[in-house]
């Protein structure tokens, strides 16, 4: 029996964020939109490879793209990052809660 519940979105997002090239692409795009070719320039990697990374980012909603003519322009999609942020915040919340309850327990009548 497996434990994971089906959170396909979170899974896609964190998987996408797990690769350093994709994070570099996101850093670039957070400054300004760019075409796939633009994105490829700083990397020692084929255009095809960058295109594949962009597809991964798009599926995870970290990036939104639009193809006009023969060029595809990419920009940040806030949805994906927001999902990642929410997951982290929720862990933090639950974790901090634990200490609150612990403190509460320790404060009960007998402060020894």
Partner DNA sequence: CAAATAATAAAGCAAAAACTTTAGTAATGG
Partner DNA sequence: CCATTACTAAAGTTTTTGCTTTATTATTTG
Could you tell me the smallest distance in angstroms from the CB atom of residue 100 to a second copy? 13
Could you tell me the smallest distance in angstroms from the CB atom of residue 41 to a second copy? 9
Closest CA to 13 of 66, 86, 74, 70: 86
Token couple for 108: 């009960």
Helices (H), ranges, the chain: 8-17, 20-31, 36-40, 47-59, 78-107
What is the rounded CA–CA span in Å between residue 57 and residue 76?
Answer: 9
Could you tell me the smallest distance in angstroms from the CB atom of residue 103 to a second copy? 15
With CB under 5 to 8 Å by kind, the binding choice for 95 among DNA, a second copy, none is a second copy
Could you tell me which residues are beta bridge partners of residue 73?
Answer: 35, 66
Q: Closest CB to DNA among 65 and 81?
A: 65
Say whether residue 35 binds DNA (CB under 7 A). yes
Burial class (CB in 10 A: 0-12, 13-18, 19+), 3: exposed
Q: Closest CB to a second copy among 26 and 70?
A: 26
Please report, as ranges, the residues that interact with a second copy according to CB under 8 A: 1-4, 10-11, 14-15, 17-21, 23-24, 26-27, 30-32, 42-44, 76, 78, 81, 84-85, 87-89, 91-92, 94-95, 98
């Amino acid at each position: 029996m497996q434990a994971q519940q089906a959170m396909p979105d979170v899974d896609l997002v964190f998987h996408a964020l797990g690769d350093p090239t994709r994070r570099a692409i996101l850093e670039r795009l957070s400054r300004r939109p760019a075409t796939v070719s633009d994105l490829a320039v700083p990397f020692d990697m084929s255009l095809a490879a960058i295109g594949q990374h962009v597809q991964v980012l798009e599926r995870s909603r970290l990036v939104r793209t639009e193809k006009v003519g023969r060029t595809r322009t990419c920009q940040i999609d806030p949805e994906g990052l927001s999902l990642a942020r929410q997951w982290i915040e929720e862990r933090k919340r639950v974790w901090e809660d634990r200490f609150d309850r612990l403190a509460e327990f320790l404060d009960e009548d007998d402060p020894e």
